[in-house]
Amino acid sequence: MKFTTPLYELFQDEQRNRIFIKRDDLLPDSLGGNKVRIAEAFFRDMEERDCDALIGYGDIRSNLCRVLASRCYQKKIPCYIICTGGDGEGHGETANSWIMKLSGAKLVPCRKTEIRETVEKLMSRLEGQGFRPYYIYGNSLGRGNEGVAAGAYVPVYREILEQGRALGAAFDFLFLPSGTGATQSGLVCGHLLEGDPARIVGISISREKERGTGIILEGVKEYFAGQGRKLPANAGEEVILEDGYRRGGYGCCDKEILECIRRVYLRTGVPMDPTYTGKAFLGMCSYIRDHKIQGKNLLFLHTGGTPLFYDAVSSGIFTAEE
């Protein structure tokens, strides 16, 4: 899918920084978001491998699982989502999990300690039924497809640079929510190929810095290897992941995140969510303050999560006065 999403200046902050936003939440399929691009990369790889059933994995809040389920329905591909329930391993309901079910995906409840075993059992069962299943993360250990997912965002980086030039703005920093790390891996790859001076800062919404950085760098390495390119010597230096703004980890939220979502929506009309974009946007603002950044051009990549925004709305984030 080729679609250029809007990029524009959102506001200027008190430190004279120009804050821009790229609206990948407006990608025109499955309620948008970065996972639309990543899902399409998985489907291309799945077709090349001649597979005919898809297995996804994620939390009940997962934007990727929502998109996979929707696209599988459209493509008439059997879809199975191995689904963890987040805090306390409960398996509740979110707008994303509801859409997964609406799309006909079969949700397979799983504890985080049983992912490998669950993947292997499901793969074996589907193979026994005559299917050629495709697990989005490669093998049962979650390894093997890092380069595939990263490849989805390599051309987007070039798109960002072109849009910045059209606006007369060279970006000094690019911020984004970093969860699985695939989007950041792709942006880093694009950055290395283009050789521009911007700093890409992933705001971790879940993983600790050491583990998350390793996963992002693995995606970069796999992409370059798959393209037959030599990995630049400075690749490791370009992977910047900040884990100090996680607010308790994946799916954890507090009043400050909700207030940030409310404020951004009321002032700009841009919806964000507590799990991904709202937490990362607040993290970006904190990073700007903590690092005393002034007079720079900063870009925030809005990676989607619209259904989770409505989950947040129903929790009452608009009750406070402006």
Beta bridge partners, 48, equal: none
DSSP-assigned states of every residue in 101-152: HHTT-EEEE--GGGHHHHHHHHHHHHHHTT--EEETTBSTTS-B-HHHHHGG
| CA–CA dist 209, 68 (Å, integer) | 27
Q: What are phi and psi of 23, to 5 degrees?
A: -95, 70
Instruction: Determine whether 197 is exposed, middle or buried from the number of CB atoms within 10 Å of its CB (0-12, 13-18, 19+).
Output: exposed
Catalytic positions are 62
Q: Which residue, among 124, 150, 117, 119, has the nearest Cα to 45 in the 3D structure?
A: 150
With H, G, I as helix, E, B as strand and everything else as coil, classify residue 83: strand
Which helix or strand (DSSP H or E) is residue 240 part of?
strand 240-242
> Which residues lie closer than 8 Å to 322 by C-beta, 6 or more apart?
263, 266
**Amino acid present at 152:** A
Radius of gyration of the chain (CA): 19
